[in-house]
Amino acid sequence: MKKFISICFLFAISNLFALSGKLLLVGGGTERDTPNSWSTPAFQWAINQSANKKALILHYETTSTFYPTYMTGECGAVASKNLVINATNADLQETYDTIMKYDFVFFRGGDQSVYYSTYLNTKTAQAINDKFNAGGVIGGTSAGLHILSKVIYNAQDASVTPLETMINVSNTGITLKNDLFNLFPGFVFDSHVAERGRFPRTIGFMAKWFNENNEKIKGITVDDLTAMGIGSDDIGTVFGTGAVGIYESKSLKLSPYSISGKLKTDSIQVTQLINGWKYNFNTQSITTSGVVSITSTFASETNQSTILLSGADDFANNSNFITHFVTKIGKTDFPIVIFTGTDSTLARSFKLNILSKGAKRCKIIRLIPSRLTVVGLLDTIKQTNKFLFIGNSISQLYSILTVDGIGKFINTKIRAKGVAVGFVGNNARFAGKKVLSDNYITSGAAYDNLIRTTKGLGLLQNTIIFPNAYLNSNVNENSVSVIPYFMVQDSVLHGIMLTSNSYLKYATKIDNKAYFTSDGFQPAIVLKNKSGIKTGFSNTISGRFTVMSPRQIVGFEQMSVSFLDTNATFVAAENVQYSPINDSLLLNINQNYSLKNEFKIYPNPTNEVLNLENDTFINLKIYDLLGTFLMEKTGIINQIYVSNLPKGVYFLEIKTPETTYKLKFYKTEY
């Protein structure tokens, strides 16, 4: 008998746990009742998880005719109703009783601060907790999602942006509470994450909560047009077009986040789940579906030069970047060469600032064929080790740097040991293994699956770079979606996101390691891929407008993300020989290059006129074989009349601002 009672008791206890609640987390965006809608499987899951299949739609202000019809017409509910709960009725027993009649309760979007202030310590809050504990399904979208975690961001001082969070993790706009519902302890939720680029904000929530409460919490991020259903078995299933992210600090430091100032953390582990994938919250393991691959093993960086990457194109946001490049890399008075494209306007403004910082000389070289014959160009490049790329296109660079002669010389020189190379703004893309296509900052490009990659210069051969991140609200989705997407697609180890107020330096140190070091007003973001993980790409079409391609969203088992505050470092590679900037005046590369940039004179021999291919200001002198000075001209010179010279051998001495050339010519009889 006792044995029977014990068995019955254990059975009852097991059923009690089985009856614990479920959650439907919807990241925002428009639900659709069209065929093959992204949202219908998610709501069907919720209805099927509810015992009486009745759905109650809650809001603090208005009703929606869409939801009740959608729940009963497409999602399998046997009944569905709207209910407005405001300050007048939130604490009524009648409201409590109404909520308890429905086994799926869903909060619409809106303003979570109103939800919080209206429902705190009311019968409504009690009903939600009781319904969840009785095995009901509680769901929400957008603001309705935010109030479902134990720690909630209630946005009582208006919504804080990712940039505001990164600039100041103690931002008073990050208002966090843990006293509304008790549905999912240990987590904070965030919505519209890809669409609004919010994952730095979510990590900011985690950081501020730890700094103020000494408690580590995890984050769940849900993209727009995406949902996760979490069953009573603690297994979450993902639906929709985007991804659900699980964020956890793995730092062993006593204080894993910056206590004040910019967001800084070195080891946030990220799991990103796409449609059909499942996550076990107990074992932290994933189950994948669809086409899944295993990420290959990655090589480390090997470059021994110094590379500086700026996040902005405009001159105003690069003052600190230029100061660092001139004064903190090699000798301050060392000459600098700027490589630019067809329009040198921006390069000229940078040149003036470079000279004002103490550089000895700054030369602008336009990397177009007609300019590569300029006198003294090769010697100018030889006589420095500091180069800056501004206003180029990748196609133009490749057309120059792969051509025999001066182009290949430049290509080799910028990879030499002891050289410093800076890339400004969108030119920072070119330093990596792959280059994002020019539409990477076009609104909707990632959503519409339009961004592509091409081969980069590979100075950082295992890195991909996104400058101009968070340039404006229209490109936030591109900022957070395409870096991990192409890290997986192109097998890249590191992904770097630079805002308009951040820059990053790659350099070796005396411990023979290569480091990324951050500086600027905002943190730099570095993602690191992991070998041997399961990965896959979103394959669900949203049906928005006429778009018929999946979004550029990737799923992966594990990556890490770090936010680098001022002077914070990230190990980019082990076992890279320390190579400080070479301060010698002449840094040659021992290869034989054709000197296409020397002056060409013709005809030679001549009897009357000597022509020069030249488009720059020079001083020209003629001497005979004995060194006797005969003639001098100054200016942009293309012709010299020598008919009055006797027959014989003569020398031209041509001086440019950079160097001096001596050329021989022959005068024949007239």
For 58, phi and psi rounded to 5 degrees? -110, 145
pLDDT at residue 9, as a whole number:
37
- pTM of the predicted model as reported, rounded to 2 decimal places: 0.84
Candidate ranges 25-34, 121-130, 339-348; pick with highest mean pLDDT: 121-130
For 484-513, what is the mean pLDDT? 94
Comparing 540 with 222, the larger pLDDT belongs to: 222
- Return the sign of the alpha-carbon dihedral for residues 146, 151, 157, 163: negative
Say which amino acid occupies 179.
D
Query: What is the DSSP track for 457-512?
Result: --SSTTEEEEEEETSSGGGHHHHHHHHHHHHHHTT-SEEEEEETTEEEEEEE-TTS
User: Which range is least confidently modeled, 100-104, 273-277, 327-331?
Assistant: 327-331
Average pLDDT, whole number, for the chain? 89
pLDDT at 586 over 70: no
pLDDT band at 546 (very low <50, low <70, confident <90, very high): low
pLDDT at residue 60, as a whole number:
98
Distance CA 367, CA 585 (A): 23
Distance CA 509, CA 567 (A): 14
CA distances to 267, 374, 391, 596 from 366, in Å: 42, 10, 10, 15
pLDDT at residue 583, as a whole number:
63
pLDDT at residue 563, as a whole number:
95
pLDDT at residue 259, as a whole number:
78
pLDDT, tens digit, 9 for 90 and up, residues 302-330? 888 999 999 999 988 999 999 999 999 98
Query: What is the DSSP track for 603-629?
Result: SSSBSSEEEEE--S-EEEEEEETT--E
pLDDT at residue 1, as a whole number:
40
pLDDT at 14 over 90: no
- Give the bridge partners for 516, in sequence order: 506, 570
Candidate ranges 76-85, 300-309, 519-528; pick with highest mean pLDDT: 76-85
- Return the sign of the alpha-carbon dihedral for residues 461, 463, 469, 474: positive
Say which amino acid occupies 665.
F
pLDDT at residue 588, as a whole number:
43
Measure the CA angle with vertex 520, ends 514 and 524; round to 5°: 55
Question: Which of 214, 207, 217 is closest to 265 using CA atoms?
Answer: 207
pLDDT at 34 over 90: no
Domains of the chain: 20-256 (3.40.50.880), 306-573 (3.40.50.880), 600-667 (2.60.40.3080)
pLDDT at residue 171, as a whole number:
92
Number of H helices, E strands in the chain: 16, 38
Distance CA 444, CA 481 (A): 11
Please, is 278 exposed, middle or buried when counting C-beta atoms within 10 Å of its C-beta (0-12, 13-18, 19+)? middle
pLDDT at 590 over 70: no
Q: Locate the DSSP E strands across 256-392.
A: 265-273, 278-280, 285-287, 293-294, 306-310, 336-340, 362-366, 386-389
User: Which range is least confidently modeled, 189-198, 267-276, 467-476, 541-550?
Assistant: 541-550
Distance CA 426, CA 428 (A): 5
